[in-house]
Amino acid sequence: MPLVTTKEILTKAVAQNYAVPHINISNLEHFDTILSTAAKLKSPIIVAFTTGLIKYYGDEILEGLCSAASKKYQIPFAVHLDHHKDPKDIFTRIKKNKYITSVMIDASLVDFEKNVAITKDVVEFCSKKGISVEAELGAIQGTEDDHSSADAFYTDPNLAIEFIKQTKIDALAISIGTVHGCVTKLAPSLDLKRLEQLRKTTTIPLVLHGCSGLNDEQIKTVVSKGIAKINIATEFKVVFHDGLVKYLHEHPTETDSRLFFGAANKNVKNLLESKIKLFNSENKG
Ligand SMILES: [Zn+2]
């Protein structure tokens, strides 16, 4: 099916109170496993490319993947550029890859006025092409792929209202205590009151990044309180790595990469199935 925007996917998620998984793609194997698993459970899905992934494979390979997947899988899915900091990068990528339906401009580390100005530029460009724009207000701590931030600044609900009004973005990434790159399951303390206030005072879909470190109860709580898009990257990298290491440890002379990648992908598939059920996005595609 033709790809859809995250705006379309998330509007439905907000209305029906479930969350859509946003998975950062690490490699080519990973891409197809994510899509085929979502298709099996009929869940909408957002596959995300970071600048690091694009640098690694190049635009042509990634466009080819998106094109093939749009023919093969009959579920609503969006191809999203994650944590792009330079609007020029976004504009170049969109010109090169006609399958991109969604972008995130992350100007969260500059001051409010500059964040508004940069984000507005991206919205102006993307809205003409029917591409959704997510932006971040506040800053999420931690490291994820080629993106890192040392300090966390929680999202101010009053500024969020102003930010959305001025920029006309389609979705807002908020900072309420999650950490990028965290899989310790130490249950980061979440500012749920802030989330409730943000949900009450804004109308667009709210996005939570850095969710690898949240336990199942926390995920259920943030979904029930209105988070419509949940970004997960690190947890998928960890299970892929663990599957690969275990298989090669048990079969040290195996040279058929389809077998050891197959074992790694099985972990990815199982993890995504559990997330789709937890987010309640099964059969919503
Ligand atoms: Zn993120």
State residue 138's pLDDT score.
86
Q: Is the per-residue pLDDT at 239 higher than 80? A: yes
CB under 8 Å, gap of 24 or more: what pairs does 147-150 form?
Answer: 147/50, 147/82, 147/83, 147/106, 147/180, 148/180, 148/181, 149/108, 149/109, 149/180
Please provide the average confidence, as pLDDT, over all residues in the chain.
Answer: 93
CA distance 92 to 132: 16
State residue 72's pLDDT score.
95
State residue 23's pLDDT score.
97
* Predicted confidence band of residue 139 (pLDDT cuts 50, 70, 90): confident
Q: Average of pLDDT values for 151-164?
A: 89
State residue 212's pLDDT score.
85
Residues forming a β-bridge with 104: 134
State residue 18's pLDDT score.
98
* Tens-place pLDDT, residues 49-104: 999 999 999 999 999 999 999 999 999 999 999 999 999 999 999 998 889 999 99
State residue 210's pLDDT score.
87
State residue 109's pLDDT score.
87
> 249, 279, 277, 278: which is closest to 264 by C-alpha?
249
* Tens-place pLDDT, residues 164-220: 999 999 999 999 988 887 666 556 789 999 999 999 999 999 999 988 888 999 999
Q: Average of pLDDT values for 118-137?
A: 97
Q: Is the per-residue pLDDT at 148 higher than 80? A: no
For residue 135, the CA-to-ligand 1 centroid distance in Å is 11
State residue 211's pLDDT score.
87
For residue 153, the CA-to-ligand 1 centroid distance in Å is 14
* Predicted confidence band of residue 145 (pLDDT cuts 50, 70, 90): low
Establish whether 63 is an annotated binding residue. Answer: no
Establish whether 24 is an annotated binding residue. Answer: no
Q: Is the per-residue pLDDT at 15 higher than 90? A: yes
What residue type is assigned to position 285 of the chain?
Answer: G
For residue 230, the CA-to-ligand 1 centroid distance in Å is 10
End-to-end CA distance of the chain: 11
For residue 148, the CA-to-ligand 1 centroid distance in Å is 9
Q: Is the per-residue pLDDT at 150 higher than 70? A: no
State residue 178's pLDDT score.
87
For residue 279, the CA-to-ligand 1 centroid distance in Å is 18
| φ, ψ of residue 173 in degrees (nearest 5) | -85, 125
Task: Specify the CATH class of 6-279 in words.
Answer: alpha beta
Q: Is the per-residue pLDDT at 229 higher than 70? A: yes
Q: Is the per-residue pLDDT at 243 higher than 70? A: yes
Q: Average of pLDDT values for 34-57?
A: 96
Length of the chain: 285
Establish whether 249 is an annotated binding residue. Answer: no
What residue type is assigned to position 137 of the chain?
Answer: L
Name the percent of the chain lying above pLDDT 90: 84
Mind telling me the catalytic residues?
Answer: 82
State residue 254's pLDDT score.
96
In this predicted structure, which of 12-21, 23-32, 118-127 has the lowest mean pLDDT? Answer: 23-32
Establish whether 147 is an annotated binding residue. Answer: no
Establish whether 136 is an annotated binding residue. Answer: yes
Q: Average of pLDDT values for 2-21?
A: 96
